[in-house]
Chain A
Amino acid sequence: MAVLEFKNVTKHYGKVEALKNVSFETIDGEFLVILGPSGAGKTTTLKITCGLVNPTEGSVFLDGQDITKFPPYSRNISMTFETYSLYPHMTVFDNMAYPLRSKKGEFTEDVIKERVVTIAKMLHIDPLLDRFPSEASGGQKQRIALGRTMVRKPEIYLLDEPLAHLDAKIRVELREEFHKIEELQKTTTVYVTHDYIEALSLGDRIMIMNEGKLLQIGTPEEIFERPVNYEVARQVGQPAINAVECEVVKEGKGPALRSVEEPDCVFSLNSEQQSFFKQYDKNRLLLGIRPKNIGLKPVKDADEHDGIIDVFQPLGSEGVLTSNIGKLSIVGLIDPEAKVKHDQKVKLYVDTKAMYFFDNETMKNLML
């Protein structure tokens, strides 16, 4: 059993508030991903968990026991760092064996060999055991660092941006491999990243942080489909969600939303949305539309708008189209093999049932 709990943890570094009253509890065995931009407090959260840093306020519990004051070596928690920190003068084998040799006599050399070789095979680095870290590629170094954390079979794994410094291609390959490392899948693992695709792909649950605060914790679907506020919606998705400041217009066939930047652009609402806006007591709001809900092909109940193409970025499985509806710049996704030109006039279709509505001051999701 390994349930990690943070209760009202706050951390100040001088005047900087790295963590602001963070509370959460992991589910035993889950792969929890902490997602957020630089400076969100993700690494601080990990360092407080393994004991490298003490909280200014609040407590940390492991399986119900208060470990806040425990030194790192008496918590059975292992952490890998963004910069692998492998010992260059030791072989890969010795690097991985190091944590098992820290207390003389704790493990026999036979046990050490067995553990190291098993884990090395699991991570496909067994051919490197007699080599030195300098002979390993970036992806291999990453796996050696990971292997070193795995040999002591900790109760909790803490992985700090393990894929950050690798080539894009290798990041995708290793991300796929993480799914298959059973040891990580069944042991409580807290994985930090700034890449939302890694988060959605790997997390049983995702914890979104920004500026020291915990914004939301939930499954990938919950985070993506029911973000609690605009900040969460913005972080999860590429390209980022379109944010259009709108006024509620109540004349005519029922409430609709008019863009403040481009008053000729009006988004219609379905009957369910209209009922909500009939009651809405404010005049303004922030409308969120994900690029995947804007395209050149008509879909059921879509709003049609006249647009002019600005830039087209054809990618792998989709193409990213930036267009202008009057003065409003909007991003949509289309076929990557579409032949479109700069300044071309097009009809843009917006799937209005998939729109998000945020309070323009608090940024909260109005529909939750």
Chain B
Amino acid sequence: MAEVILKNVNKTYLSQKEKVEAVIDLNMEIKDGELVALLGPSGCGKSSTLRMIAGLEEITSGDILFDGERVNELSSMERNIAMAFESYSLYPHMTVYKNIGFPLDVMKVDRAEKDKRIHEIASVFNLEQFLKKRPPELSGGQQQRVSLARALVREPHVFLLDEPISHSDAHLRFQMRNEIKKLHFQLEATMIYVTHDQIDALSMADRIAVMNVARLHQIGTRDELYDTPVNMFVAGFVGEPHINFLECETAKQGGEQVLHVRGSDNLDLKISKAKSAKINEKKLDKVWVGVRPQNVFVSREEGVVEVGGAVEFSEFIGEKAITTVQNGGAEFRMLTPTDVKYKKGEPIKGYIPDEAVLIFDPETEEAVY
């Protein structure tokens, strides 16, 4: 296994028409045995980053080190990595059995051991019934699993996975996340996983690196990204359901400083003195407040910051219900019990713990802590 370090890594694509900066000034340390997810929207630079780590793309500037050794000039083969990429081709003329076994053939693993490993990994990914088939006979999702199995049958320094489960249905993805996570635990492998789907990232990663428009915004555990995002992009991108962003102005109510939600009739957030002090320190009279719907509770015991309004509509989605509440021209969403049916216009109150009220500077969009 290996520790992977990226130092001031840049990737620029040059074409006749233009110069595209795909990755800018990326610094990241992935510890030995860690599973780090590179998460971000399409075009954020995560795949370019992975391809540079893999040796499939030239590094425009900066260094990539495996266990302290600079690998910029080494080929993919020499880096001893395993890849399962969304579009990484399988050998169409070979059976699934041979495809999965190929890396072991290259490593000259003995026949009995190879057979055992192939069957083990095939069973993990529900591929036993396909071992004698060839890739063109399989569906997209099945081919992806073969690609994943082929990558995981070895024991390389680093596993690089690029959207390896995107073409499977929801239930299969759930099962495969369990399997990847278990394998990670058993192999204690360094894994770098690229995805645009935060569920993949949240469910499997030790830490998540959030990227947007060529830059790394924050790298941290799920709890860190949830509770202390560094800016509005991270707070908005990582979070299911989507965070509420409320435009607020500082105001005085009964001698205390509150945050009045613009456009609302009476949404005045009574935040703690400590938070108010931080806002005043930065001399902000306007702020963006971020509150996650799951932190707006129906029960008064859960939080001190009270909000309320009239029910606009309720989205029942099985395991949870998301209710949209209106207050004058402002609205926010909260999770409500699934067995309660709210009528449109019904008054409702929500209670938010003070630490769940995130404050952002409207100019820089950075969090104020």
Q: Do A and B form a real pair?
A: yes
Is A200 close to B, CB under 8 A?
yes
Kindly identify, within residues 173 to 196 of chain B, every residue whose CB is under 8 Å from any CB belonging to chain A: 174, 177-178, 181-182, 185, 196
Instruction: Kindly identify which residue among B42, B241, B317 contacts A167, using a CB–CB cutoff of 8 Å.
Output: B42
CB of B294 within 8 A of CB of A316, answer: yes
Which B positions have Cβ atoms within 8 angstroms of A?
A: 41-42, 169-171, 174, 177-178, 181-182, 185, 196-199, 202-204, 222-223, 226, 237, 239-242, 293-294, 313, 315-320, 335
| A229 vs B147: C-alpha distance when bound (angstroms) | 35
* Given A167-B42, A342-B185, A317 contacting B170 (CB threshold 8 A): no
Is A239 close to B, CB under 8 A?
yes
- Taking each of B203, B204, B242, which has the highest tally of chain A beta carbons within 10 Å of its own beta carbon? B203
Is A318 close to B, CB under 8 A?
yes
| A316 vs B203: C-alpha distance when bound (angstroms) | 9
Which A positions have Cβ atoms within 8 angstroms of B?
A: 37-38, 138, 167-170, 172-173, 176, 179, 194-197, 200-201, 220-221, 224, 234, 236-240, 290-292, 310-311, 313-318, 320, 322, 333, 336-337, 342
Q: Which residues of A contact B202 (CB under 8 A)?
A: 313-316, 336
Instruction: Kindly identify which residue among A38, A311, A333 contacts B182, using a CB–CB cutoff of 8 Å.
Output: A311
| A138 vs B171: C-alpha distance when bound (angstroms) | 25
| A291 vs B223: C-alpha distance when bound (angstroms) | 22
CB of B222 within 8 A of CB of A314, answer: yes
CB of B169 within 8 A of CB of A173, answer: no
CB of B239 within 8 A of CB of A240, answer: no
15 more A-B contacts (CB under 8 A) besides A238-B170, A317-B335?
A: A38-B169, A168-B196, A179-B313, A196-B170, A196-B318, A200-B318, A224-B318, A237-B319, A311-B181, A313-B177, A313-B181, A313-B202, A314-B203, A320-B174, A337-B223
CB of B203 within 8 A of CB of A317, answer: no
Q: Which residues of A contact B181 (CB under 8 A)?
A: 311, 313
A-B contact pairs, 18 of them (CB 8 A): A167-B196, A167-B197, A169-B196, A176-B242, A195-B170, A197-B318, A201-B315, A220-B316, A234-B171, A236-B318, A238-B170, A238-B171, A238-B319, A239-B174, A318-B320, A320-B174, A322-B178, A336-B202
Q: Which residues of B contact A167 (CB under 8 A)?
A: 41-42, 196-197
* Given A200-B316, A315-B203, A168 contacting B197 (CB threshold 8 A): yes
Q: Which residue of B lies closest to A238 (CB)?
A: B170
- Cβ of B199 to closest chain A Cβ, rounded Å: 6
Q: Which residues of A contact B319 (CB under 8 A)?
A: 237-238, 290-292, 318, 333
| A316 vs B242: C-alpha distance when bound (angstroms) | 10
CB of B174 within 8 A of CB of A240, answer: yes
Q: Which residues of A contact B294 (CB under 8 A)?
A: 316-317
- Cβ of A101 to closest chain B Cβ, rounded Å: 33
Q: Which residues of A contact B240 (CB under 8 A)?
A: 172, 315-317
